[in-house]
Amino acid sequence: MAIRKQDDSLLEAEKTRVGPPRMFKVLLLNDDFTPMDFVVSVLQKFFAMDRERATRVMLQVHTEGRGECGVYPKDIAATKVEQVIAHARQHQHPLACVMEEN
């Protein structure tokens, strides 16, 4: 595609290549106060996990100190982190949820 200017010079259209978006892991961090059942319910509600997978991730959080909930583009990951933290605070739990670049 070319565009002509008034002085008859020809301008070339630039082609830009857009790469895939950067992806971010959403992680839950262990604490000594949030009940395990609450963590399982959070994983089911916000990350669409079935009970079995949510229980495995909850046990990973409990034993290893952190567990991966999913990998998302930056804006979706940030939204999920905010939703989980707000939900935990609403239920008076100190559950920590963070994101880090994949």
Q: Is the pLDDT of residue 11 over 90?
A: no
- 7 DSSP assignment: T
Instruction: Identify the pLDDT of residue 18.
Output: 86
CA angle 23, 26, 64 (to 5 degrees): 125
Contacts of 88 (CB under 8 A, 6+ apart): 34, 38, 42, 94, 95, 97
pLDDT, tens only, 58-91: 999 999 999 999 999 999 999 999 999 999 999 9
32-101, CATH topology level? Ribosomal Protein L30; Chain: A, (3.30.1390)
DSSP 63: H
Dist CA 24 CA 102 (whole Å): 5
Domain boundaries, the chain: 32-101
* pTM of the complete model: 0.81
